[in-house]
Structures are given as structure tokens and as C-alpha cells.
Amino acid sequence: MNFLRRLNPRSVAMSLSSRIRTQAISSHNTPFPAAEPDAETIFQAWHEFDPSAKRWCTVDTTKSTDSSSFTQQASPQDTKLVAVTWNVDAFAKETEARISALLSHITTQTPAVDIIFLQEVSIEALKFILNDSGFRESWFSSEADATNWEWLPFATMTFLSKSRFANAKGAMPMASIGPIWRVCYPSRYGRDALCCDIFMPPSESSSSAPSSAETRIRLINVHLDSLPCYPSFRPRQLSIVTSFLRSADCGLVAGDFNPVQEEDATLIQENGLVDAWLELRQEESGFTWGVDGKAPFPPNRMDRVVTVGLKPLDIEVMHPEAIRERLPWSDHSGLKYSFEIPGN
């Protein structure tokens, strides 16, 4: 039994049916790296709230692998996307009030946010989000229940805007959703990488035929291991994530990178990834943690967006406000990143 399995009960518990499902879904033209001996891929489903059934239901994304169904090109504006990543603090008090204010802030941004990555989502926060009428109406969710929490105090969630994404490719100039899965890798805390693929149609400026010019964008939501522990698993975690990212046409990894040791300073560069903040705002600190001066450690750019093959447009820190002027939404700030696909 390898180190991953001793540290990650979720990987140990993966049933035979899960393995069969993984093999079946991955056969639908989903590009993966060569086998990683210390990582397991576990597919899951996207979910959409069904008002008539009054529950979150599985979304069938298998048709999204049929590239011939893109029959119309998109305007240049339609090929631009906005993503937000935010560690929402699993342990602060007044979860519902904090999460409500934070999500309201994200969903009222201009231009509108298309992709949301959340880290440190407690079960209490999960239940609140899944019961929120606005999210039920407007977003596809990576989760429908607490299955992926198991013994964990918190986990990651990803959301895609229903105003922007279709659940199967049709004759509309919008992105569509593809497969979604978690990669379990070595971790002291049972953490994983929440991965998904989306597809963009060719733009009007593209000279390629619509039937063959779609772009697969891989989105990976991470909360790398915390604290200055030895040995650190962050180098291996980012290495595994990078191999999955590079298997797609282009994409990004975003979330809480927890760069708290000297070796963390060079991990992004060593993996050949582009740090979006340094690419666009290298003269600014970009701190996302400890900015209020109350933390026991110096301010840090804990949260990152790193990319392969994307054209950056803008990135900004979204500092938390407070509920009743005393409790901040989170101990982290969020990041909003706007990008488009080169050649589209």
C-alpha cells in the first residue's frame, strides 16, 4: 500500500464500480497524462437543480465530447471568460451570513463571473449553498451532497454559470461543459484536485472549420497542503496537477497554494506554468492573506492563478468585507481572473 493510500481514505474506499465508471468516462476522448503511480482519478458528475423534482440532478455531459455539434461560431466577446477563486474559511463563525455576503459579491460582478472555485467549504457552507435559490437557478454545481466530504472538515467546489455554459454542445455561441473528476494525490489532509474540462467554439475570427476548431480548456481547483510540514507534499501535488493541465489544449490551476516554505517560491516556474499575477501586475504585492495585520505570519500571496496557453486580460484581488462590521467574510481574499483563448 503506497503513501497516498495510507493518507487518503477516499482513495482506499474507491469501489470497483467507481473504477469501471472512471474507465468508461475517460474513454470519451478525455486526454490524460501517463499514469501517475501516486495519484488516482475519480470521475463524478455535474449537477443542475431540478425545480420539479426539488433536488440537484445529474447532468449528462457525454454529448459534450462530440465536437461536430458546434455548428455556429462565437463572437470575440463570447470567447472571453471570467473566473473567481476564493478560500471561504471553514472555521470562522456565522457561516451562512459570511457565505451569503461573499457569494453575493461574486455574482454581482461586472463583467459577470462565469467560473467559481471555492476552497475550505465546510459541510454547513455546502448545505447553505445548495439550498440557496440563486445558486439553484443560475449555476451548475460540482456537488449535490456531502459525498466528497466523508471524513474531511472541508472540501472544494466548482460552479459554472448556466447563462454561459450549455450542458451539451448545440448551435449556440456559448461554452459547454465536459467531464469532471477529482485527482487524489499524496496529502497529509486528504486533499485532492477538482478538475473539469469546458469547450469553447471557434470565434468569428478563426479560420478553422467549426467542426474541428473547438478548444478544450482544463480548469483545476486546488487547496494544496497547509503549513510548513516536512516533507512537504506541495511539490508533488503541483507536479501531478501540471501533468493533467498539460494534457488539454490549455487551461488554468487556481486556488490556495499555501506557499509557506522557501521551496514553494519556485514551484510554479519549475513546472513551466505562468503565474497570472506576475504576468499582469508584477509591480503589486497581490497579497491574499494576512493583509489586516492580525495574522501570526507576514502577509502572503497564498492564492494563485497559474495557466498554460491562455491569453490574460486582467486579474485583481477581491478583499473581503465584513458582516456587521466585525467579522470578515473570510481570512483570505479572492482573485478574479479574466482571460481568452489565443487564436479565438
Quick one: pLDDT at residue 204? 63
In angstroms, the CA 73 to CA 70 distance is: 8
Summarize pLDDT for 9-35 with one digit per residue, the tens: 444 444 444 444 444 444 458 999 998
Pairing label, strands 274-275, 215-223: unpaired
Q: Give the SS3 label for residue 256.
A: strand
Q: How far is CA 242 from CA 94, 193, 199, 303, in A?
A: 36, 11, 19, 17
**Residue count of the chain:** 344
Q: pTM score, two decimals?
A: 0.90
Quick one: pLDDT at residue 157? 98
Amino acid residing at 336: K
Q: How far is CA 134 from CA 110, 205, 330, in A?
A: 17, 35, 21
Q: Which regions in the chain score pLDDT beneath 50?
A: 1-27, 65-71, 169-171, 173, 208-211
Q: Give the SS3 label for residue 140.
A: strand
Quick one: pLDDT at residue 29? 81
Domains, the chain: 3-15+38-340 (3.60.10.10)
Q: How many CB atoms lie within 10 A of CB 16?
A: 7
Question: Which residues are 221's β-sheet partners?
Answer: 194, 254
Question: Which residues are 335's β-sheet partners?
Answer: 85, 317
108 burial type by CB count under 10 A (0-12 exposed, 13-18 middle, 19+ buried): exposed
Quick one: pLDDT at residue 172? 52
For 68-71, the CB contacts below 8 A with 24+ separation are 68/211, 69/168, 69/169, 69/170, 70/169, 70/199, 70/201, 70/202, 70/210, 70/211, 70/213, 70/214, 71/170, 71/171, 71/210
Quick one: pLDDT at residue 68? 45
Q: How many CB atoms lie within 10 A of CB 298?
A: 9
